[in-house]
């Protein structure tokens, strides 16, 4: 018996971005495109009772575009909704491949007219298919606040006259970096969900993977793109080993490394080698090199921690970040002992961007535990529990507290 709900849910995970991007090209209006695509998915719930089409994405795209065309034929809609996006009607320049709607939508979401936070939120909404409440939880804001933020972002795109296209060669260098940063944040959000009952967001990891591959196919000579795809592959290769059969978090030290995806690791290693020799050097290439060191190690104890510290030093020298500094301090704790790691963490104690960041307290608690300072470790882990919104991570921290007695 056909399960239309399951088929629609699967199509949402796999096809949402492509269906929406193709519909935007018809509507030139982000809100109207979203409305038409949502109606197409609702229509599929009924229409697919008699069987799921061989190409669900094509069926949904056709349904959504038909609704968009019907909307444009109605005079009141045509008068109400002026075009928000300028869609190029001319033939592509000789340097470019044929226009790609998903890439065009990605560059639109990541336009520099938007704040960095708005770019990520809009990308999660339009390309990730997340609902407004889900995005609000990820950003730790209320649903009305996030709805207003998304609306402002769309209006800003309209006011700026943002074209729905992949930028030309003159624009591309300054635009591509913002796109890579957003895809990296989608990867991070999927790798460890900020909130909720699951550690991993498979849909976001899949979306980050798809977008990184799409960028690589379009820009095969860009070192940043190669580094980002390498980072996605080497990070995602561990996905199935990060939780146990009950959804509990499995730490890196306890993961079954024989179950890591060897094909993804091999491809990631090859990309890292290419990206590290290219110039200008990309921070994603260096971060991917860190992931490659972990992939090469047979165990946590046999990891080349001094190499990881050195790679983080390169990132901090060129692209300073308090989160990278925190990761470096943890690596120092493995390379030189917990006291050295705690000294590195102490430097970050007054960093305002880490205020309320649960991983800082959690890292400190673990280093204090290893140093034998159990009372202080308990206090730090209690703080981490209060600052952690993901249920799986909070459960692990609670287990550490119980073990401390």
- CB-based contact 199:247 (threshold 8 Å): yes
- Ranges of H-type helices in 74-129: 75-80, 101-109, 116-126
Q: Is residue 329 part of a domain?
A: yes
CATH number at residue 29: 1.10.1740
57 in a structural domain = yes
Whole-number pLDDT of residue 97: 36
Which of 37, 56, 84 represents a domain boundary (last residue)?
A: 84
Q: How far apart are CA 74 and CA 152, in angstroms?
A: 26
pTM above 0.95, yes or no: no
Last residue of a domain, one of 84, 106, 124: 84
On average, the pLDDT of the chain sits at: 88
Taking residues 350-358, report their average pLDDT: 86
Question: What average pLDDT does this structure show over 311-331?
Answer: 96
Whole domain around residue 63: which residue ranges? 4-84
pLDDT of 219-233, one tens digit each? 999 999 999 999 999
Instruction: Point out the domain boundary residue: 34, 53, 84.
Output: 84
When divided into structural domains, the chain yields a total of: 2
Whether 201 maps to a domain, the answer reads no
Contact by Cβ (8 Å): 146, 135: yes
274 within some domain: no
- Of residues 161, 158, 160, 135, the one with CA closest to residue 148: 135
Q: Is the pLDDT of residue 340 over 90?
A: yes
Beta bridge partners of 86: 163
The domain spanning residue 380 has which CATH number? 1.25.40.10
The confidence band for 1, taking pLDDT boundaries of 50, 70 and 90, is: very low
At 76, is the pLDDT very low, low, confident or very high (cuts 50, 70, 90)? low
Residue at 246 is within a domain? no
């Amino acid at each position: 018996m056909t399960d239309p709900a399951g088929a629609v849910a699967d199509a949402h995970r796999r096809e949402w971005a492509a269906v929406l991007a193709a519909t935007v090209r018809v509507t030139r209006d982000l809100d109207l495109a979203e409305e038409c695509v949502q109606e197409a998915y609702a229509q599929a719930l009924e229409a697919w009772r008699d069987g799921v089409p061989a190409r669900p994405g094509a069926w949904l795209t056709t349904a959504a575009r038909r609704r968009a065309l019907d909307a444009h034929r109605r005079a009141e809609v045509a008068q109400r909704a002026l075009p928000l996006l300028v869609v190029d009607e001319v033939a592509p320049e000789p340097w470019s491949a044929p226009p790609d709607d998903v890439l065009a939508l990605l560059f639109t979401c990541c336009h520099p007219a938007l704040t960095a936070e708005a770019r990520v939120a809009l990308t999660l909404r339009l390309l990730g298919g997340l609902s407004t409440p889900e995005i609000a939880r990820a950003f730790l804001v209320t649903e009305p606040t996030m709805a207003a933020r998304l609306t402002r972002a769309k209006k800003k795109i309209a006011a700026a006259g943002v074209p729905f296209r992949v930028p030309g060669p003159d624009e591309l260098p300054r635009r591509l970096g913002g796109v890579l940063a957003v895809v990296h944040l989608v990867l991070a959000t999927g790798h460890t969900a900020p909130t909720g009952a699951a550690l991993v967001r498979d849909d976001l990891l899949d979306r980050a993977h798809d977008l990184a591959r799409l960028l690589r196919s379009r820009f095969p000579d860009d070192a940043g793109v190669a580094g980002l795809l390498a980072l996605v592959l080497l990070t995602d290769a561990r996905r199935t080993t990060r939780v146990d059969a009950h959804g509990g978090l499995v730490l890196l030290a306890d993961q079954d490394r024989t179950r890591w995806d060897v094909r993804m690791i091999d491809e990631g290693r090859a990309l890292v080698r290419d990206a590290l020799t290219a110039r200008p050097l990309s921070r994603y290439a260096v971060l991917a090199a860190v992931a490659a060191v972990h992939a090469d190690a047979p165990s946590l104890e046999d990891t080349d921690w001094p190499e990881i510290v050195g790679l983080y030093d390169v990132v901090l020298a060129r692209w300073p970040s308090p989160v990278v500094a925190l990761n470096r301090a943890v690596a120092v704790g493995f390379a030189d002992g917990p006291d050295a790691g705690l000294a590195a963490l102490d430097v970050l104690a007054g960093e305002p961007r880490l205020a309320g960041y649960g991983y800082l307290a959690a890292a400190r608690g673990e280093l204090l535990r290893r140093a034998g300072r159990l009372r202080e470790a308990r206090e730090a882990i209690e703080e981490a529990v209060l600052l952690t919104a993901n249920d799986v991570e909070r459960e692990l921290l609670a287990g550490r507290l119980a073990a401390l007695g």
